[in-house]
Copies of this chain bind each other. A is one copy, B any other.
Amino acid sequence: MTSDFHVNMNEYLPLRDVVFNTLRQAILRGELKPGERLMEIALSNRLGVSRTPVREAIRMLELEGLVIMIPRKGAQVAQITEQDMTDVLEVRLGLEELAVRFACERITDEELEKLGEAVQEFEKSITNADLSALAEADVKFHEIIYQATHNQRLVQIINNIREQMYRYRIEYLKDVESRKGLLKEHYAIWAALKNRDKDNAVKYICTHIVNQQEAIRRSLDGSE
């Protein structure tokens, strides 16, 4: 008898990855504020591990740009300057445009199907008050488009940039005003992809992203 019980062999995760995810979330959610120092001993005590996994997690966060290292001084949560945010947003817009172009050429019928479902799911979540569900539906919608580029490198880079945005983005969905607009845009993007209408796909993805950017800017202006 061959083994037919599929134990989840992924139940094991190295501690460094656990620490990495924990710290990452903390930074993105703003629990660890920009400029705050990340001291290894303090963190390792707090998390109940030794310094080694903490250090390795910090190395990873460093390469993601979420923390900056000052030699012999240690790590601190990266500052977010206005200029930096502008830079990220510009690059993101460019990449999203590129992605939707490729998606328009390459999206499969199956993926189009899934995209349609994602739009509906997003619509359902709008009436619902559950914010995290809405955010998740939004992520899912875009993720399908990225995958439809059939370019894993592009997917990786865009996801990285998107996650950087998380730092700014948390608040933008709260703006009830804009939700309806978002839905319309999702729908328009889906339709354009379905018709392989590259110009419109680009047009709508751009307004979509620009709208998000402006929502983020507003929420930042309001809070500072």
Contacts and interface: CB of A to CB of B under 8 A. Distances in A.
Interface of A: 12-14, 16, 52, 55-56, 59-60, 62-65, 71-72, 83-84, 86-88, 90-91, 94-95, 98, 102, 151-154, 156-157
B151 A71 contact: no
Contacts of A151: 86-87, 90-91
Contacts of A84: 152-153
A12 B55 CA distance: 19
B56 A91 contact: no
18 contacts: A12-B71, A13-B71, A16-B59, A52-B52, A56-B56, A56-B59, A59-B59, A63-B64, A65-B156, A84-B153, A88-B153, A90-B102, A90-B151, A90-B154, A91-B98, A91-B153, A91-B154, A94-B154
A154 B12 CA distance: 35
Nearest to A12: B71
A63 B65 contact: no
A156 to B, nearest CB: 7
Given A63-B64, A65-B156, A90-B153, 4 more contacts: A56-B56, A60-B60, A83-B152, A98-B98
A-B interface, 9 closest residue pairs, ranked by CB to CB distance from nearest: A87-B153, A94-B98, A87-B151, A63-B63, A59-B59, A56-B59, A91-B154, A91-B153, A60-B63
A13 B71 CA distance: 8
